Amino acid sequence: MKDFADIPFSILDLSPIVTGGDAARSFRNSLKLAQRAEEWGYHRYWLAEHHNMAGIASAATSVVIGHIAAGTKKIRVGSGGIMLPNHAPLVIAEQFGTLESLFPGRIDLGLGRAPGGDRVTAHALRRDLGNSADRFPQDVVELRGYLQPARPNQLVKAVPGTGLKVPIYLLGSSDFSARLAAEMGLPFAFASHFAPAFLHEALEIYRTHFRPSEELQKPYAMVAVNVLVAETDQEAQRLFTSRQQFALAMVRGERPTVPPPVASMDGLWSPREESQVNQMTLCSAVGAREAVRYDLQAIVRATEADEIIASALIFDDEARLKSFEMLAELHSAAVH
C-alpha cells in the first residue's frame, strides 16, 4: 500500500484571473509560484488549455509554459493539458519540440480530448468541428510519430521536434483516455479535481489493460486533487469558497473570474446546486495541516496514485503561495 511520503507531488496551475485582476497579474503570480515550487521541491508544474473563460489565463498554453520554464531552472514544466482536437498534431509537435530545444529534459506534453470550452468556442477555434474528438487516437499516434526519430522517406517532419521524444501523458475524466493510455503504454492523469465520478473505475481499467511500451514499462497514474492548506480548518474552508463559487458558476453555465471568498455559502446555492458542487469538488483536501495530511493519505491509499498533482483556485495571491508552501512542508516532513 502506497504512503503519502512515497510519491512525488506536483502543481496544476490554471493561471487564475481573480475578480479585479487581469492576465498580466496572473502570469506574474504563476511565475512566482513556479519559482517557489522549485525551491520547495515540487516535481513538475503544469498549465492547462482553456478558452473563452474569464477566470483562466492559460489559453495559449505553450507560450505560458515557455514563460514559466524560462523563469525556473530545473522543475519539469508542461501541459495538463493541451486539448489536441483544437490543433494539428504537427503544430503541437513543433511547439513542444521548440520548448524541448530551449529547455532540454524539462518539458512534458499532457494531452486531452475535450475542447477546453463550449461548442461555440470550439467552432471559433476549429471552424469545422467534424469528428475531431473521434480522431483523438489517430492524432496522438501522428503526434508521437513526429517526436520520434525520422523514418526513411518520411515527407513531413517536425522541425524542431523530430527525435526529441518529449514525454507524452494522456489526460481524462472518463474511461476513454484510460483505455487509450493503457493500449499505448503511456502515463495517465485523471482530472479528479473537477470530475471525480469515474476516478476509481478509470484507474482500474488503465492498470488492468496496460501494455508496456518503449516509453513506459508499467502503469503510471497521476491523480489531480484540489488542495488548500491554511493555519486553521475554518480559514481553509473560507478560502475554499472561491473554488466553490467558481464551480457553482460553471454549474449555472457561467464563466466568471475567480471571486473573493465569503464567510459562508449558505444562501448562495440551492440544495441541488450544493450537491452538484460537492460532487465536482469531492476529490479535495482542505483544512489545516493535519486535516490535509489525513485526507491526502486517504486519497493516495484509495487510488494507489503514483503522483499527486495539486490544484488550487485561491483568490488571495499570498494565501495561494502559503497553501502550496505548507503542502510542500507536509510532504517533506513525511518523506524525512
Residue 234 lies inside a defined structural domain of this protein = no
pLDDT per position as a tens digit, 188-241: 999 999 999 999 999 999 999 999 999 999 999 999 999 999 999 999 999 999
C-alpha span between 82 and 69 (Å, rounded): 16
Domain presence at residue 152:
yes
Residue ranges of E strands in the chain: 9-13, 44-47, 76-83, 107-112, 168-172, 188-190, 221-229, 284-287, 307-311
Percent of the chain with pLDDT over 70: 96
Q: Is residue 22 part of a domain?
A: yes
Q: What is the CATH number of the domain that holds 324?
A: 3.20.20.30
pLDDT one-digit tens code per residue, 283-310:
999 999 999 999 999 999 999 999 999 9
Task: Name the residue type at position 100.
Answer: E
Q: What is the pLDDT of residues 8-63, one digit of tens each?
A: 999 999 999 999 999 999 999 999 999 999 999 999 999 999 999 999 999 999 99
Q: Which three cell numbers stand for residue 78?
A: 508542461
User: Does some domain include residue 58?
Assistant: yes
Angle at 87 between CA 81 and CA 93, to 5 degrees: 75
| Higher pLDDT, residue 79 or 134 | 79
- Count of domains for the chain: 1
**Does residue 220 sit within a domain?**
yes
Residue 188 CA to residue 121 CA, distance in Å, equals 27
In a domain, 287, yes or no: no
Q: What is the Cα Rg of the chain in Å?
A: 19
Nearest of 149, 152, 116, 150 to residue 132 by alpha carbon: 116
Q: 36: domain range? A: 11-224+309-335
Give yes or no for a contact between 285 and 243, defined as CB atoms under 8 angstroms apart.
Answer: no
Within a domain: 63:
yes
In a domain, 255, yes or no: no
3-state secondary structure of 131: coil
